[in-house]
Amino acid sequence: MSKFKKNDGKKAPGINTSSLPDIVFMLLFFFMVATTTKEIDPMVKVRPATGIGMTDLTPFKQRSEVDFVYLGQPLKGDVDKFEKGIAVQYDGILHKDGIRHIGKWKQDKFATKPAEYTAPREETMTCFKADEQVPMGILFEAREILGDASFYTIGYAASEKPNNKGYNIRTQ
């Protein structure tokens, strides 16, 4: 004589999932807008330097006006094979000539891009994504080569510094 009827035999009503695609599409669009495509898998270890007030490179990327060079210790293989233990990654390869290859690489990159998509030669940026412990000598060598080939715009990549933390400078 319970007050609660046992509704035996009857199934629980199914949840209406017809709006599920809408929700998932919403998520999809959010991610499509909020993210950018990955360039390439890194072959060198890059712990980014930190700073404030950098230029956002997204518009440059959209106009394909920027080429990235990665500098750091190689993730795989022998560190000693590279000069000063720093490997330089151009697109998918670690070149054996290290930084001295940059002129030729940049020249090839510039030549293969269709002319209507790129900025004039001196405005196409070469962005150095260097590990925080990469010595500056290498970058200045690259600067000189690029300057001689009249690619005058460069970028020093860094990530946004958290407000409550200092710069991650190695002290000795």
Partner 1 sequence: MAKREAPEINAGSMADIAFLLLIFFLVTTTMDKDTAYARKIPKKVEVIDPEPVQKKNIYKISINNKQNIQARDSIIKPEDIEQLNSRIKHYYLINREKLEDRNVDYPYYSMVTKAFIDQRIAEAYNKQENYEKLLETDSKYEKFIEQMDNEIAEWNRKKRILDLYTKASGKKEMPEIAFQAHVRLESFIDTDYSAYVAVQSEVEKAVTEMRDEEAQELFGITYTSMRQYYQTNLLEKTPKVQEYKDKMDLIELLFPLRIIEVKPKR
Bridge partners of residue 94, in order along the sequence = 89
Number of Cβ atoms within 10 Å of the Cβ of 93: 11
> Rounded to whole angstroms, how far apart are CA atoms 93 and 102?
12
- Considering the complex, state which of residue 49 and residue 94 has its C-beta at the smaller distance from partner 1: 49
The 3-class secondary structure across 103-126, one letter per residue, is HHHHHHHHHHCCHHHCCCHHHCEE
Can residue 167 be called a binding residue for partner 1 (CB under 8 A)?
A: yes
Binding residue for partner 1, selected from 2, 55, 163, 164, defined by CB under 8 A: 55
Q: According to CB under 8 A, which one of 61, 100, 104, 109 is a site residue for partner 1?
A: 61
Coil, helix or strand at residue 126: strand
Among 34, 41, 76, 92, which residue sits at the site for partner 1 (rule: CB under 8 A)? 34
Query: Please, which residue, 1 or 169, has the CB nearer to partner 1?
Result: 169
Q: Considering the complex, state which of residue 69 and residue 94 has its C-beta at the smaller distance from partner 1.
A: 69
Q: Does 99 bind partner 1 (CB under 8 A)?
A: no
- How far apart are alpha carbons 38 and 9 in whole angstroms? 54
Contact residue for partner 1 among 40, 42, 97, 133 (CB under 8 A): 133
What is the size of the binding site for partner 1 (CB under 8 A)? 67
Residues 45, 61: Cα–Cα separation, whole Å: 22
CA distances from 88 to 5, 78, 93 (A): 74, 14, 8
Give the range of 6-14, 91-99, 104-112, 122-130 binding partner 1 by CB under 8 A.
Answer: 122-130
- Output Rg (C-alpha) for the chain, integer angstroms: 25
Residues binding partner 1 (CB under 8 A):
17-18, 20-21, 24-25, 27-28, 31-32, 34-38, 49-61, 63, 66, 68, 71, 125, 127, 130-137, 139-140, 143-144, 146-147, 150-161, 166-172
